[in-house]
Amino acid sequence: MTVAERTSLDERTEAFVGEVLATIDAHVPIVEAFLLGSGAAGGFDPKTSDVDLVVVVGRALGVERAELVEGLAAMAPPGRSLELVLYVEGRQAPDYELNVNKGEELTQEEPFWFVLDAAVAQERAVPMWGSRSWNDFFTAISAERTRQAMQESLEWAQARSPENEFARGHVVRARHYLDRGEWITKKEGQA
């Protein structure tokens, strides 16, 4: 089975993911990489979807950190943006090594986002480097911890401006999960 058969990525986005992984591996050895989000779960739109990647690396970034971030920022994703999180092998969410979104390193993101990503990933992540599963690297996120993180994310979203489209959609998604225990997509949250 090819990567394309396991994802909903188009050919251009799949090539972009390959370039991102090659760039990372040139700076720090990749152990495994996972596609998350709509690329893994379905519904990926190359014009509007983010490319969501989690990469497990063999060691912490050192002096190559700035050069890696600069190299990633120079890449033009075919979709809306690249959302990339690196973990050193053995670390668990939310203890990440690097978080890059829209070409910028973000260091102050709320921990619940990483817990929620890991909770979804344990069900839907698609290996992109080798063939090892998410659960080979990450401890399962319990239902209780997922609900706690989702409640925190709901409170975060409710504290945002009513004009914040992402927050409005997330309120719908969070309430749906807390009421029914089911994940829904961003698109379903906006419907």
Phi-psi region of 102 (alpha: psi -120 to 50; beta: other; left: phi over 0): left
- With contact defined as beta carbons under 8 Å apart, do 34 and 20 qualify? no
3-state secondary structure of 3: helix
pLDDT digits (tens, 9 = 90+) for 31-64: 999 999 888 888 888 888 899 999 999 999 999 9
Q: How far is CA 42 from CA 46, 49, 180, in A?
A: 12, 11, 21
Question: Pick the residue with more confidence: 191 or 177?
Answer: 177
Residue 5 banded pLDDT, cuts 50, 70, 90: low
Identify the pLDDT of residue 189: 72
Would the pLDDT of 3 be above 60?
no
Beta bridge partners of 84: 53, 100
- Has residue 2 got a pLDDT over 60? no
The answer to whether 142 touches 181, Cβ cutoff 8 Å, is: no
What angle is formed at CA 127 by the lines to CA 43 and CA 176, rounded to 5 degrees? Answer: 40
90: its two tokens: 């053995």
pTM of the model: 0.92
Domain-by-domain residue ranges, the chain? 3-139, 142-191
Strands in 98-101's sheet, in edge-to-edge order, are 104-105, 98-101, 82-88, 51-57, 30-36, 126-127
Q: List pLDDT tens digits, range 73-120.
A: 999 888 789 999 999 999 999 999 999 998 899 999 999 999 999 999
At 173 the pLDDT is 92
| Residue 179 burial by Cβ neighbours in a 10 Å radius (0-12, 13-18, 19+) | exposed
Superfamily (CATH) of domain 3-139: Beta Polymerase, domain 2 (3.30.460.10)
